[in-house]
A and B are shown apart, each in its own frame.
Chain A
């Protein structure tokens, strides 16, 4: 009894250290910093000013709302695309192809996100590959700038997130007994009803865990919105970056960081509430 508890703590220690030193401690410091600011004499004092700035400057909270909205849209589009892909991999593809398909999905992740995004830029920019062929084939007369707009940015985000949705969906779909689908079909259900009444309810835990991961990754993504969205597509992480690096206002940046944390927690809580699930059920 005593011994097994000791072993438990020994194995837990690295995780606890990691959590405490690299997550909890820095966040506590950020939290402290977000409530500090210079007063008129240049002395550091406790203040709500950093949070007040966020609500009084429309550019900040508009970017905030925009980021949240686009992250939700990205998650939803990723889900819509991942659903048939996962179904094909888990249920329709033959066993040998199955592995190859998963590897194909995984393959892009062997290179860093930065390189992948530059790849997209090479394809899509005004002098890019796609424009070159469209000009050659006479589809367009002048090259089109396909980068630096919201649609391209969302496409990039969906592309980056795809794997994190497909993997949980595939594993949850593999556990779905084929005979359930056949039974529903036998009892008079058509394609759409089978999806609605059998497949989706069964996949709910996978959908939720996939959505949480994709949503958080998208919300906290910096590279893709910055590079593919350009100046026209503001993302809240850029605001945080600007405060820390450009303005050197760590106090303001910390406040923004905490607001983002609150936002993601709130939206995930809302999502779980709406689908009547609990976090521990999803995680298991």
Chain B
């Protein structure tokens, strides 16, 4: 489908299928068109061309209040003039469900999201995480075919966000509703989703499982956006079925896995994950090894890294395993790092 605002295509020729009951994320930087896409699915905007089908039914021209889709808003949009139970019962009331039946369903729903007995509370009495759960409960109580979530964890603090990620995933597995989740936070998308679509400038760059996106990005954008990467600019000096030999602008010679872009003499971007680089490898056979200087240690528990530079001042992030083996490293040390040819990903240079 396509959505244009004047000349500007916010969503440009996007096609995708979401299997029933799965957790599907759309991941992209702000302004990439993901919210527009979501609003089209919810029915607030109509696509300029293309169709949206939910369970085989065409949704074009169907207003939001008639679609089997509910949206959890970025800022949740809970109704402050109503209490928790009234918020959750709002949709049921609109469907003309009897008050006693609605109350029963609201209570079941509150229990399911872990807030039993909270029905009487005012919205402003709830904490951030509780509001979150009420907002989701308000949608789920309507048993939608698809639940859309528009970066609902964005407003929470880090600790709570980590916790809600796991909770959301568990909740989705429990209720079995199809979730479409949009976010700019890659960790949210990777942790929770069955499948993730990476979106950039209105287009899908890649759709796949989190493992595929991380391990085998199919475009330079995905390689840069999902997870951290070190980049090298290089030229192909030799290419055969076994691998390619690259010469970086700094003069290093590397062997990397071949792909279709690698023709001899072409310019390449080489992406290298911090954890692909091993510090002081014992077995150097088949590895690309070179020396770097440690500039600083970026300690972050299990996610600690070294900020290093090569002799030519090319900055590299190297994962620092916290197994006490490298406790002797201090800034200023010269160390050697090595990486396996399979872990380098190269794409034809963009310029």
Q: Which residues of A contact B (CB under 8 A)?
A: 177, 179-180, 182-190, 193, 197-198, 201-202
Contact = CB atoms under 8 A, between A and B. Distances in A.
Interface in B82-140: 90-91, 94-95, 138-139
A188 B63 CA distance: 9
Interface of B: 42-44, 63-66, 69-71, 73-75, 77-81, 90-91, 94-95, 138-139, 142
Contact of B94 (A177, A179, A188): A188
Nearest to B139: A187
A182 B91 contact: no
Given A188-B65, A190-B65, A179 B77 contact: yes
Given A180-B79, A190-B65, 8 more contacts: A182-B64, A182-B71, A183-B78, A185-B63, A186-B42, A186-B65, A189-B90, A189-B94
27 contacts: A179-B73, A179-B74, A179-B77, A182-B77, A183-B73, A183-B78, A183-B79, A184-B79, A185-B44, A185-B63, A185-B65, A186-B44, A186-B65, A186-B69, A187-B65, A187-B138, A187-B139, A187-B142, A188-B91, A188-B94, A188-B142, A189-B90, A193-B94, A197-B79, A197-B90, A198-B79, A201-B81
A182 B44 contact: yes
A41 to B, nearest CB: 64
B71 A183 contact: yes
Contacts of A188: 65-66, 91, 94-95, 142
Nearest to A177: B77
Nearest to A201: B81
Contacts of B139: 187
Contacts of B63: 185
Given A179-B75, A184-B79, A189 B65 contact: yes
B60 to A, nearest CB: 17
A180 B79 CA distance: 7
Contacts of B81: 198, 201-202
Contacts of A202: 80-81
A186 B81 CA distance: 18
Most-contacted residue by chain B among A179, A188, A190 (CB, 10 A): A188
A187 B73 CA distance: 12
B185 to A, nearest CB: 20
Contacts of B80: 202
A197 B95 CA distance: 15
A33 to B, nearest CB: 47
Contacts of B91: 187-188
List 4 A-B pairs, minimum CB-CB distance, nearest first. Answer: A188-B94, A187-B91, A183-B77, A179-B77
Contacts of B65: 185-190
A193 B96 CA distance: 13
Contacts of A182: 44, 64, 71, 73, 77
A189 B94 CA distance: 6
Contacts of B75: 177, 179
B94 A186 contact: no
A259 to B, nearest CB: 37
B256 to A, nearest CB: 48
